Amino acid sequence: MPASNPRFSGYGLGLRKEHYRDFLETAVPVDFVEVISENFMVDGGQPRHILRQIRERHPVALHGVSMSIGSADGLDAGYLRRLKALVDEIEPLFVSDHLSWSRFGGFNSHDLLPVPYTEEALDVVCTHIQVAQDALGRTLLVENPSSYLVFDDASMTEWEFVARMTQRTGCELLLDVNNIFVSATNHGFDPLEYLEGIPAQRVRQIHLAGHTQGRGLLIDTHDTPVRDEVWALYTHAVSRLGPVATMIERDGDIPPLQHLLDELAIARRTRAAARSTAGATFGNVHALHATEREAA
């Protein structure tokens, strides 16, 4: 259950179709679930009906993938209207989307494309976050994406960009620890420096997920269990951030629900372990987590 900190919302799972029946017919021990907003921004039908039933049982976080706050084209007003209608009906725990772009010039890539960390992009992203927050009437959580390239004209690091973004807009952060690890590995920066560089008090939610090794790059695939290296980084994150709502995100090769609940139990135990490993090195924490996973 959530601790006494009123800003801590506990431990949750990303809700996927494969587990609808579990969530509708059994008492799944989670503090919240997260759904992909766009899957429910429909006119009607069974998806909305299922979400209403789930909402009667659990707090629901709405996690979007198509707001495209980094688009030079502006935001899609129709999209925001539909999201607002869903927010009004579901009264979600959080509303989040990504620091990325997907739409430009009548084209929508349906992928989380990278934003160059420049002053111009910061202006664009901040303007769009403010427009979205005004339209939705609430604070937006913005997630750091995994990235596979770095722009030559970037004038700041991602964590500097994120820090200035939160300062200017009042938005909060959905920190994806796996994405930090993937991007840090791909681009050669220190993930601990990233954690130190973001405003801890603005982090409201954490994502944990799995990745795979591509040709020369790590790929954020969400189709494997959380890796030991990411658990280790998570330990550092909760040491620095304090209690933050944490969830497992799994989108491919979906296992039985119990497997995800077992992973979530590791997150719960990590919170407790983090208190005793404060000051440990990244390598030591990594070794601790390898042992923890073997035990699980």
- Of 43, 40, 89, 47, the closest CA to residue 65 belongs to 40
Strand-strand pairing, 101-104 and 245-248: unpaired
* Min dist. Cβ of residue 286 to other proteins (A): 25
Neighbours of 223 (CB within 10 A): 16
* Binders of other proteins in range 237-296 (CB under 8 A): none
Q: Is 105 in the site for other proteins (CB under 8 A)?
A: yes
Which one, 4 or 46, has the nearer CB to other proteins? 46
Q: Is 153 in the site for other proteins (CB under 8 A)?
A: yes
Q: Is 25 in the site for other proteins (CB under 8 A)?
A: no
* Min dist. Cβ of residue 210 to other proteins (A): 16
Of positions 8, 20, 22, 47, contacts other proteins by CB under 8 A: 47
Q: Answer yes or no: are the C-beta atoms of 20 and 57 closer than 8 Å.
A: no
Q: Using CB under 8 A, which of the segments 2-10, 21-29, 212-220, 266-274 binds other proteins?
A: 212-220
Binding mask 62-81 for other proteins (x = CB under 8 A): ----x-x-xxxx--x-xx--
Provide DSSP, 186-220: HHT--HHHHHHHS-GGGEEEEEE---EE-SSSEE-
Which one, 55 or 293, has the nearer CB to other proteins? 55
Of positions 87, 136, 219, 261, contacts other proteins by CB under 8 A: 219
Q: Please tell me the distance from the alpha carbon of residue 22 to that of residue 44, in angstroms, as a whole number.
A: 22
Q: Answer yes or no: are the C-beta atoms of 242 and 204 closer than 8 Å.
A: no
Q: Is 157 in the site for other proteins (CB under 8 A)?
A: no
Q: Please tell me the distance from the alpha carbon of residue 142 to that of residue 138, in angstroms, as a whole number.
A: 13
Which one, 218 or 273, has the nearer CB to other proteins? 218
The two three-digit tokens of residue 111, written as one number: 């992928």
Q: Answer yes or no: are the C-beta atoms of 54 and 84 closer than 8 Å.
A: no
Return residues touching other proteins (CB under 8 A): 38, 41-49, 66, 68, 70-73, 76, 78-79, 101, 103-111, 113, 116, 118, 120-121, 124, 147-153, 186, 214-217, 219
